[in-house]
Amino acid sequence: MDGQETIVWRFADYSDAGMITFNIAVFQKGGHGQWTVQVQSTPQRPWQSAELAHLVGEAGFTEVALYGSLAGEPYGAGVSGDLVLAAKKRD
């Protein structure tokens, strides 16, 4: 970013109400050695795999498959770090 020293920090806050707030903090070191920070936050409701699969089917998709990574590992609730959903659109 214009030759400035920059640090980007991504983190999430989890609330008791079941919401997740995703945060991105961008720290930049200015010309006098002072750091500034800008934070952007987005609150989101996490979706469960069954909810997503159901909604995708209702939207007209078939062959819904759930994976635990982009490498195609099997999905397991509570053990997979990611949820990847693949489906085909009906003609």
Q: pLDDT tens, 1-10? A: 567 899 999 9
Token digits for 36? 């500034």
In a domain, 29, yes or no: yes
For residue 66, being part of any structural domain is answered with yes
Residue 26, pLDDT score: 97
- What's the mean pLDDT in 65-75? 95
* pLDDT of the residue at 60: 94
pLDDT, tens digit (0-9, with 9 covering 90-100), for 9-18: 999 999 998 8
Across the chain, mean pLDDT equals 92
User: For the residues 7-33, what does the mean pLDDT come to?
Assistant: 94
Same-domain status, 74 and 57: yes
Same domain, 55 and 73: yes
Q: How far is CA 74 from the centre of its chain?
A: 19
Q: Is residue 1 part of a domain?
A: no
| Strand boundaries in the chain, DSSP class E | 6-14, 20-29, 35-44, 61-67, 84-89
DSSP 12: E
10 in the same domain as 38:
yes
Q: How many domains, the chain?
A: 2
Task: Provide the residue range defining the domain that includes 58.
Answer: 49-89
> Are both 62 and 36 inside the same structural domain?
no
